Amino acid sequence: MAVLQKKIVTKTSRSAAGKRQSALAEMTDEDLMSQFQAGSVAASNILVERYSERLTHYLYGFLGDMRRCEDLLQETFLRVYRNRHSYRRIAKFSTWLYTIAGNLARSEYRKRKRRRLYSIQSVNRDNEEYEMQLPDESFSPDKHAESIIQDKYIQQALDDIPASFREVVVLRDVQQLAYDEIAEITGLPMGTVKSRINRGRTKLQTLLKDVYPFYEPAPA
């Protein structure tokens, strides 16, 4: 009898847990964040599941380095955990999350750029010093053929356009975020966001017209 009662209790507990999980899965990001702030680990796990792949697309599109993207993805969610109580519902959770990831990506890009640039003191014909940029051979798009962004040509083209254009193009055309959300994430005026997206797309089309003639950016 005791064994039967234990089985019934266990089955009931599992059923209740399943219902709670199902209810959480139907919540908005903001409601899940409220649950997470109240101590729900399950709510946190759902948010991680919802955004891991999307953030990986974003970070890889920005940096082109899958291993580093995985590190930054973990760091993003770690910062979400550490700063969970600073989040306020007046902001969309996705905007807050992308702002954290974007700050990390921009910081990584600046570090990488400093490592790539070697200030070589030289003298030109006018006896003026100048900086010579040496190529960075640490990244090759061919090494990431199995990455989430499958087309190596698009990724290579993204790597070749300025970071200021690359970020907004990835947010718009890969992540398909709204212009106002991109403006909030990047801290740029709406007009600047639209201008950079258009200029970035133009540069991509120029780079891809020969190697990838079927490339079409997302509609404006």
Position 130 pLDDT exceeds 80: no
- Mean pLDDT, range 112-137, rounded to an integer: 39
Instruction: Write the pLDDT tens digit of every residue in 146-179.
Output: 333 345 777 788 888 888 898 898 888 888 889 9
User: Which domain range does residue 194 map to?
Assistant: 151-213
The pLDDT, as a whole number, for residue 111 is: 76
Domain-terminating residue out of 137, 161, 190: 137
Whether residue 42 sits in one domain with residue 125: yes
Shared domain for 194 and 103, answered yes or no, is: no
Q: What is the mean pLDDT of residues 11-40?
A: 80
* pLDDT mean over 115-125: 36
Domain count for the chain: 2
Q: Which of 112, 137, 162 is at the close of a domain?
A: 137
DSSP-derived letter for residue 146 is T
C-beta separation of 182 from 218 below 8 A: no
Tell me which of 179 and 63 has the higher pLDDT: 179
Residue 142 lies in a domain: no
Which pair of structure tokens corresponds to residue 200? 């970035």
Q: How far apart are CA 199 and CA 138, in angstroms?
A: 27
Rounded average pLDDT over 113-135: 38
Structural tokens at position 212: 């990838």
Whether residues 173 and 130 fall in one domain = no
Mean pLDDT, the chain, as a whole number? 76
Q: Is residue 4 part of a domain?
A: no
Domain harbouring 102, CATH code: 1.10.1740.10
Task: Return the DSSP state at 129.
Answer: E
> How far are the Cα atoms of 92, 111, 148 from residue 192, in angstroms, in the given order?
21, 25, 29
On whether the CB atoms of residues 158 and 61 are closer than 8 A, the answer is yes
pTM (2 decimals)?
A: 0.63
Rg (CA), the chain: 23
